[in-house]
Structure formats: C-alpha cells, structure tokens
Structure 1
C-alpha cells in the first residue's frame, strides 16, 4: 500500500485541525500552572511590555527557560490584539479573542502532531488499516484530548518529536543493506538529497532546546543508527554517509542553537543559554525535590497507564514484541521501542516526576500499538479482486465500545467538571472590572482582588487581561538562598505554606500588617470555601483591631470545582467574597453622578 496521497493527507489535516479547535474550546478546566506561567505569562510580557502586569516566575529571572516557546504565543497575542482593535466588538468580546488566541494556535500545533503520527504510521506499515488505527488512537486518547491543546512546552515538544521522527530517513539510516539485484537500495540517497534529514534534525534540535530531556530519544536513535546493536542485517551506512549524517547534525544543531541564542538575547537582554543554566542550576541547587518526590516506578505504574488508558495492553505488547513483518520494519519499530524504554528508565531516576514529562512518547506508543489494535478490533475478509480489497470488518465490538466509552467519559469529566473554577473565576473578575471601569484608570492603585489560594491556583495576566486590574496572590518561591540538605532548606516555608500554617496570624502579621507595608483592603477576596472561617475570624476580631472596621464579607460568586482534588487546600467550591471596599473608581463615579 502506497503512502496516502498529498490531497488525501491535506484533507485529513484540515479535518484534524477542526477537531482540535473544537477540542481547544471545549476544555474549560485548569490542569497545571505551567500551562500559563511557563508560556503565556512570558508571552504576554513579550507582546505587551514590562508594564503589562505579567507574572514572571523565578525560572525566568534565572534564565532557565528558552524564550522560543513564549515567543511563538506572543505572536498570537499581537495578532489577536490587532484584529480585535480594528473590529467593532465590545470589550468583553475583545478579551475573549485575546484569551482564546493561544488556545487556537496550540490546537493547530496539536493537530499537526496527530497528523504526523498518522503519516509516520503510513510510512512504516503497508496496511492503511493499521495507520488509520494509529490516528484513531491519537484522536480518541483521553490524555491527548485533555493535554494536547494546552500551552505546555511538553505539548509543543510532542509535536516536534513526532514530526522529526516522520522526516527521519529510517531506510537510509536503519534499513537493511541489500546485496541483491532484485531489490536494490537507494544507497547514498541522504548524500544526494539530505533535506528530509535536515528537517528531522532541525525539529529534533528545537525539541531538545525546549526540553533538554528530549535528547534521550535522539541519543537512542542515533546510537542504534551508528552501532546497529540488536538490529537486523548489515548497516546500509557507508563511511561517506556517516560523515554526511555528522555534518548535517552539526549544521542543523548550530542553526537552531543560533536562533535560540538570538531569541534569548533579545528577551533577556544579554547572552545566555537556558538549557545549560537549567542543568547547572538543578545540580547546584537540587530544587527538583521542592516540587515533590515520586517513587522510581511512578512512570511504570502511573505514567504509562495514564498516557495510554484503554490502549495500555496493546502498548505493552507493542513495546515487548513489535508487530513487524519485514527486517526494515523490525529495525524501525525496535528502535522506537528502545527509545521509549530508555527515556522512561532515565526519567525514572529523577526524583520529581510528572506524566507530561513522558508525553512526547505518546505518539510513538500509538504507532507501536496500532497493528495490534487493528488486528484485535478488525478483520480483513478474503477478496478475489486484488485491485479493490474488501473493507475491514469490526469485531470484538463490546470491548471497542467499552474502550471508547471509558475515554469519552474520562475526557468529558476532565474537560468540563474537574477544576473549572480557576478559569471561570477570572472571567467573573474581568467582567466585574470592565463594568466598574469602562475607561481604565492608570492612576488607580487600589487592590482589586486578593487570592488566598495555594500559589498558582489560577492563570494570571493571560486571563485577567487588563494591566490596571491590580491583584495579589500568595507566592511559593523556592529557597534559592539555601543550600541542599541543610536545616534552613528543610524548614523553609513559602508564603502559601505560612498562610495555611496559621491563617489568622499570617493575615494579621504579614498580609495586612500596617507596620510592614502590608496590603490595602481589596475589593474582592478569592479562595476555596475552606478559608471562610479564617476570614470571618480575622475580620471579626483581629481586623477590627487593625482599623478594618465595617468589613462584611459577602459571597458574590461561587463555582463547583470537581468531585475530588489531590490537594486538601483546593477542596470544595471556589468563592469570591466582596469586602464592601470602595475604590477610587467608585469615588469618581459618585462625584460625577
């Protein structure tokens, strides 16, 4: 079976983009703060300037992240801002356009990842039914639905990785050298036309710049291409082609490195190299464990099952014994399988683990599982006409319907019901601000909202939008000033920890202490419902002693936030309380009315 035609491929791509755009705007829940603070906040800063109110976390102040990722989304912000400014739309519509622009761009990136997964499977497997199942596994993956449209660097890394794998010249570098006249190989084709290799290496280098751990995948593939350990047949590589491979790797890597250095120079204002900074900083500071420790088997018992969900049995079988027919196919599949195993094993040695760290492996897992899934759920009836074979028949329908139902229900719950409040609360505050300030007042320094939640529980300027909407949230900066394995490091408590350790004392002695340049009284206080008794205690007793008379907390907004939460501090509904505070905007309106 020949690879899909260009016309069919583009038609598939358009359809997948539509699916992911629907996906992007159906997912209305909060997952993990890096979606916003490691991409959209610096992108906002790039697009709208240093006075735009973006929240840049400590990693950006220590140049630990590449600016390429947020630079991509800054373009989306600039285009959305310009388009909304020339359209006759209300402020609320303009805000929605700007908020949605990065999601729309990420939907296209996610669609490309799905499309390249299907393209790679079409190149590997001669059976179009198998390659269709690779795409089917991508589109009906609950994890892919939940995460592919989120602006994580891991999401972009995943698309870059599968695209680089598609353009990688597998036959020339991992094929079987043929000495027969009946089936001659295109020896030295990468020497005559190295563009496919160049695109692959450039995309791989960009993925490594974004996430240095991506190097594990390419070190495995490159090592097998050169050593041929465990592969079938003699190597088709000649000494000249090895030199071409080395030369192109250096050239493509140098080009991407130059782009990265120039981007970081423009963003940070001086020459720096974030991947090196990230490596040395983590070695010297040992800060990874500050964000949690996980057992060595986390990726085996939790990571891979969460990535694969109902396709896990086929994934495990594909990893253990790839369904290869020809020696060339076996070389490609064994290489992909080993890349998964090496990456998973290496990342298991790191204390802090998250499922999204192995997210770039998901398309590979779906390619490996595709032939086994196709053979289990379909059968090809015999046909006497070789030119028009009979379409495959569905079998094992109960299992198929059960798997689809599990993924649809899981994706539906995560998309609509698990932590929707952190996004919807910002829409409420933004709408309240625009209603109270139809003409934003740059001289208004009043505190509009105070977030008494675990740090980074909500997005920030990417959803607050307005630079003069002043807000404050509890922080959780790591103990950069301490040394590893010292009492000072072990006993360190960040601002959010100190609040939950003793809420009333923290509010009195730190947050609203007039002798320590404390905060002014905000118009709104945002928190989960468990903090209400502490707020009532503070404003009813201690706050009155501090001159905060007349504060009567009134719940003005409340939203369901899921059936469960792994963090007890985020349990229950999210609530907005109005304090009764009148800001300068009220005074101006009262004076002019």
Structure 2
C-alpha cells in the first residue's frame, strides 16, 4: 500500500487522541442507548429509557461496552476504566473504519484514489466529531465498510469467493442487528448480486448466515429480557405501524440533501456529487442513492442515520479529486488545502472541545462532590449523560422525562405533551403542581411527584426564573460553560448548579 510506516497504528493513535480529548455532548443515544444500559447490566444501577422497557432495543450493542466494564473491574481500573474504556474501544472501531475504507478504495480504484480517500476520512470534521462516539451508528459504519471489502461488487462478481462472501454476510448481519435500517443497503446489494449471478447458492448462504446471526441475537436478547423478545419486530411496529418516531421530530422531505449531506461532507460536498455522478452506473452509487431516498420518505430524520455511509461518500469525493487533479495543480492544491484547514479543523475542534461541554462537565462535578445528596435536572430530557458518568449510586437523582404517547388514540397524538414539554409550557405551574411548597410544611412532600433536591441543575435560559421562584431557598454554587449558541432555546446559556440553603 506504499506507506513507509505502519498505517493502522497511526490511525489508531490519531483516533484515540481525538476520543480522549473530546469533552462535549452531541445526542442522547451516545449515552442513554449504549453506555447507560451497559453500565446498569454490569454495576446494577443506572436508568433504562422506555425503549428498553418496551423491548425495542437489542442488548447486542451495549454488551460491547459491558465487556469493557467487566475488563475494567477485572483489572481494578475503577472510574478511569468506566469513563475512558469505551472511548478507547470506540477509537479502535474508528481506526478500523479508516483503514478499511483505504483498503476498499485501493482494491477498486487504485492507490492514488485510496490515499485521497484516506485524506477525506481523517480530515472530515464530522468523522472527527462522531466516529469516536459510542453510537450504534458509529459501529454500524465500521461494520459496513469492513463488509464491503469482502463483498463481490461488479469487478469481482464473476469470481465470488464463498469465504469472503460469508464474511461480508456475517458483518452485514451484525450491523443489521445493531440498526435494523442497515438492511436497506444490504437488501439492495444482495438483490443486485442475485440478479447478476442468478445463483441459488448465493441466496442459500445468505439465508443460512442471516438465520444463524438472528438466532444468536434472539438468544442474547432472551437472556437479557428474561423472556422471548424480538426487538426488531417491536422497532418496526413503533416506527412504521404506530408511526410514533415522528414524536421526536418531523423534517422536510429534502433534509438529507440540503442539511445532512452538507453537515457530513462540508468542503467535500461538491466533490461527492461529482464523484457519485461519475460512478452513477455502479451498484455502490445506486445503493447509496437508494438508501438516502428511502430515509427521505420517513418523517423523523437525523444526520447520523446516514452517517454509516460516510466512508462510501468519501470514496466518491476522492474519485472526483483524482479525476479533477485538484492536488496535482499547485494553485488548486493550495486553495483546496487552505479551505480544508479553515473550515474542517475549526469545526472539528470546536464541536469536540467546546460546544455543549457543560452538560458533560456537570456530571464530573456530581461524581467528585461528596456533599451532593440528591440532584434534579430541570432540563429537556436526556440533556446530560447519566450514571455511566456520574457514578453515584448513593444519591437520589431525577430528570424530566419525555416518553412517547404509546397507546393513545390518533386523535390525541397531536396534542400530547410529555413531562418536559409540560414543564417548559409553564414552569411555575409545573413546580406548584409537582413539588411541595418551598415555604410550606415539608411533611407534605409525599403528596407530590418530586421532592426538592440538595442540588438543582438548569440551563442559563431558566436561571432568572428559578432565582425568582426559589428565592433564598437555593443559591448558585457552580456554573459550567456550555455553548455560545444553541438552536433549542431551552438549552441556551451555561449549565448552572443551584444548592439548597440550610434554614
């Protein structure tokens, strides 16, 4: 591969440095659907969201991090192992993805395109920010690009290695277990392969591998839930039959084209479009278009849903850079590299070290402050990591919930307001209804949903109201910078900790 130094160790060192220096928050699933259930499984405490109570999630992905926690306990690493172990493992997965996309591009497009693909991968701001986070989408990305190295695409379709094909199927099936929607790309690739080869063996092997992987996963989930549970069925029922995924947001039809792709690719965006046009007759390009098209039909959209396709997008961008000879022309080369330096580097560093860091810093404060007896988060639900970072089984902790409207008639879905919504609709009314009077008889607390904790945590946007409402009963005792701006007005400002004052 014409590298004078071992490539993979360098990539791992690079991703590990990013993982260990990342101090910010992106989306709840990184913690609440991966680390939190893993932590609860190993240590016996933590919070399980409604998806786990309803059996919508497979334990397969959290089990990866449970293994890290078990090893941490075996080695006696304590909090350091719990906090940094998952980061090390996810950095390993990210480095494997970098190395695999390099190998894939070299196999199908040659060494020069492979080097350009690797450049795209390691300088991608979004990759920098997300690949080292413990999302199932991040591991899904790694599994997808690893599998494609073994999958028989056009150039090798006439000489299918059963071993390589089987390896690709295993990796693809595991990816589908992690995220059922990964089946979109594999169904397209599989259908294309069957049409080209018209081989019964291809279908039979796929059926056998799929049955084995799904059966093993069913046994794993049955062990975890202590009953026969099919998260895939529950997932499809919730998202398609009940259409409740829209409760978490509805996006415009062209979201992935006009918002998600620019976020994923930044300065590589025009080269991606040119590259996918050049490759428009290839199965991989058509599969990518198919997946984005199908995702666009779903009401609830998120950029990380198509994040697993990013290595493929980088291949197309690299192909364009190669054809246009961008780095072979001195004037274009330095213009491009300057643009890359001025756009991607600041974005990557700011998102990883500054934007939304207060919600992570406050969990460290809780973990290291013994005087905290109880803590309440008057924030939108899942605004911070939980016990996988706080590590405080000795305290009472609560937050405002946001469970979806399961079981309601369709006529009531549009007006449904979860607990966090109710609070922000009228904070004063909510506190009067669900908390005992601050200046009343404390014995009345049992009548209310919540008790006043020793520490209250809010965003700066709510600070003025809380000071007015609590008067001299609470006073600010700590503050953490969180963000300079935020699209959600409820999350604007610093993270402010208020301490209950003794009488």
Q: Scaled by the length of structure 2, what TM-score is found?
A: 0.94
Deviation at 1:518, TM superposition (A): 3.6
Q: 2:75 aligns with which of 83, 106, 118?
A: 83
> Matches of residues 453-532 of structure 1 in structure 2 within 5 Å?
453-484=379-410, 486=411, 488-512=412-436, 514=445, 516-532=447-463
Q: 1:147 aligns with which of 130, 136, 139?
A: 130
**Aligned partners of 1:504 and 1:537 also within 8 Å:** no
SS at match of 2:476: strand
Deviation at 1:79, TM superposition (A): 1.3
Q: 1:201 aligns with which of 155, 158, 169?
A: 169
User: Paired residue for 1:351?
Assistant: 299
Residue by residue over 1:386-424, the C-alpha shift from the partner in whole angstroms, topping out at 9 and shown as x without a partner, is: xxxxxxx89521222212321001101101111000100
Deviation at 1:366, TM superposition (A): 0.7
Deviation at 1:343, TM superposition (A): 0.3
Residue by residue over 1:229-265, the C-alpha shift from the partner in whole angstroms, topping out at 9 and shown as x without a partner, is: xxxxxxxx3x6xx122112211211221122111101
Deviation at 1:173, TM superposition (A): 5.6
**Aligned partners of 1:523 and 1:581 also within 8 Å:** no
**Aligned partners of 1:43 and 1:70 also within 8 Å:** yes
> Does the alignment pair 1:562 with 2:499?
no
Please provide the CA RMSD for this pair: 2.1
**Aligned partners of 1:453 and 1:527 also within 8 Å:** yes
Higher Rg: 1
SS at match of 1:396: helix
> Matches of residues 245-324 of structure 1 in structure 2 within 5 Å?
245-322=202-279
Deviation at 1:368, TM superposition (A): 1.6
**Aligned partners of 2:359 and 2:383 also within 8 Å:** yes
User: Paired residue for 1:553?
Assistant: 474
Equivalents in 2 of 1:15, 1:417: separation in Å? 26
**Aligned partners of 2:24 and 2:353 also within 8 Å:** yes
**Aligned partners of 2:433 and 2:448 also within 8 Å:** no
Equivalents in 2 of 1:41, 1:394: separation in Å? 50
Q: 1:27 aligns with which of 14, 17, 22?
A: 22
Equivalents in 1 of 2:188, 2:428: separation in Å? 54
> Matches of residues 191-230 of structure 1 in structure 2 within 5 Å?
194-228=162-196
Deviation at 1:534, TM superposition (A): 2.5
Equivalents in 1 of 2:80, 2:63: separation in Å? 21
Equivalents in 2 of 1:463, 1:408: separation in Å? 28
Q: 1:377 aligns with which of 326, 333, 338?
A: 326
Q: 1:158 aligns with which of 135, 141, 144?
A: 141
Equivalents in 1 of 2:266, 2:430: separation in Å? 43
Q: Are residues 9 and 123 of structure 1, via their aligned partners in 2, closer, same or farther at CA, if it must alter by over 3 Å?
A: farther
Equivalents in 1 of 2:116, 2:96: separation in Å? 17
User: Paired residue for 2:56?
Assistant: 64
**Aligned partners of 1:560 and 1:574 also within 8 Å:** yes
Following superposition, which runs of at least 4 residues in structure 1 exceed 3 angstroms of deviation?
Answer: 171-175
Deviation at 1:220, TM superposition (A): 1.6
Q: 1:110 aligns with which of 63, 85, 94?
A: 94
**Aligned partners of 2:154 and 2:283 also within 8 Å:** no
SS at match of 2:398: strand
Gaps of 5+ in 2: 438-444
**Aligned partners of 1:521 and 1:581 also within 8 Å:** no
Residue by residue over 1:267-313, the C-alpha shift from the partner in whole angstroms, topping out at 9 and shown as x without a partner, is: 11111121111112333422111101101000010111111111011
**Aligned partners of 2:356 and 2:483 also within 8 Å:** yes
Q: Are residues 10 and 481 of structure 1, via their aligned partners in 2, closer, same or farther at CA, if it must alter by over 3 Å?
A: farther
Deviation at 1:376, TM superposition (A): 2.9
SS at match of 2:376: strand
Equivalents in 2 of 1:530, 1:410: separation in Å? 25
Equivalents in 2 of 1:15, 1:254: separation in Å? 38
User: Paired residue for 1:366?
Assistant: 314
Equivalents in 2 of 1:157, 1:69: separation in Å? 10
Residue by residue over 1:502-522, the C-alpha shift from the partner in whole angstroms, topping out at 9 and shown as x without a partner, is: 212211211337362443331
Q: Scaled by the length of structure 1, what TM-score is found?
A: 0.80
**Aligned partners of 2:194 and 2:202 also within 8 Å:** no
Deviation at 1:552, TM superposition (A): 3.3
> Matches of residues 122-141 of structure 1 in structure 2 within 5 Å?
122-126=106-110, 128-141=111-124
Equivalents in 2 of 1:209, 1:27: separation in Å? 28
SS at match of 1:72: helix
> Does the alignment pair 1:15 with 2:10?
yes
Deviation at 1:454, TM superposition (A): 0.7
Deviates more, 1:503-512 or 1:153-162: 503-512
SS at match of 1:432: coil
SS at match of 2:395: coil
User: Paired residue for 1:440?
Assistant: none
Deviation at 1:9, TM superposition (A): 10
Equivalents in 1 of 2:16, 2:359: separation in Å? 21
Equivalents in 2 of 1:505, 1:578: separation in Å? 22
User: Paired residue for 2:153?
Assistant: 170
Gaps of 5+ in 1: 86-93, 176-186, 229-236, 323-329, 381-392, 438-446, 541-550, 583-593
Deviation at 1:99, TM superposition (A): 1.1
Equivalents in 2 of 1:10, 1:267: separation in Å? 44
User: Paired residue for 2:33?
Assistant: 38
Deviation at 1:495, TM superposition (A): 1.1
Residue by residue over 1:499-551, the C-alpha shift from the partner in whole angstroms, topping out at 9 and shown as x without a partner, is: 111212211211337362443331111001222232233323xxxxxxxxxx5
**Aligned partners of 1:121 and 1:131 also within 8 Å:** yes
